[in-house]
């Protein structure tokens, strides 16, 4: 095999290895997702979920889009000097073969400027955007803001 043919074979093998890596990986799963019903008189909500990264490399959630809002941000609650603070984050890293849980008092999505109030029992669609050019579309239910009352039995 001459030099040019050898270079062509190596280039072709490199191309296929890159293509296969991109096509076979990028496995992200979203579970237990939900958004909170809108509090009357407001146009904001929040969303929570588990994001599972089944890739062999870390990925970053870098944005979220939806037809319900033009402004959805990644936020984190932190405790500092006995005070709960909420900060906007530019990204959320999900390490290889691991997961991150978005939950109240932790990481979560803030949904601002809703086009209409979110009502319990509806579903909303979100698209999660990751730094590896992956977009994951999810449909999540809207949960009531009312707490279920625990039944107490008095004897």
Task: Give the E-state strand segments of the chain in sequence order.
Answer: 28-36, 45-53, 59-65, 71-80, 83-89, 92-94, 98-102, 107-112, 123-130, 135-143
pTM score > 0.85 for this model? Answer: no
Domain boundaries, the chain: 27-143
When mean pLDDT is compared across 14-23, 25-34, 58-67, the lowest value belongs to: 14-23
Q: Give the tens place of pLDDT for each residue, 44-99.
A: 999 999 999 999 999 999 999 999 999 999 999 988 888 989 999 999 999 999 99
Decide yes or no: CATH 3.30.70.141 for domain 27-143: no
Compute CA 13 distance to the chain's CA centroid, rounded to the nearest angstrom. Answer: 34
Pick 107 or 8 by higher pLDDT: 107
Residue 35 banded pLDDT, cuts 50, 70, 90: very high
Q: What's the CA gap between 97 and 58, in Å, rounded?
A: 8
């Amino acid at each position: 095999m001459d030099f040019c043919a050898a270079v062509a074979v190596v280039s072709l093998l490199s191309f296929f290895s890159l293509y296969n890596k991109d096509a076979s990986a990028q496995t992200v799963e979203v579970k237990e997702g939900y958004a909170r019903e809108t509090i009357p008189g407001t146009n904001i909500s929040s969303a929570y979920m588990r994001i599972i990264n089944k890739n062999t490399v870390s990925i970053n959630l870098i944005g979220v889009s939806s037809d319900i809002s033009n402004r959805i941000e990644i936020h984190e609650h932190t405790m500092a000097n006995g005070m709960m603070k909420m900060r906007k984050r530019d990204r959320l890293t999900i390490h290889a073969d691991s997961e991150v849980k978005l939950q109240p008092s932790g990481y979560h999505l803030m949904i601002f400027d809703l086009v209409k109030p979110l009502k319990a029992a509806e579903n909303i669609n979100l698209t999660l955007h990751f730094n590896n050019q992956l977009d994951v579309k999810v449909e999540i239910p809207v949960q009531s803001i009312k707490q279920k009352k625990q039944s107490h039995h008095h004897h």
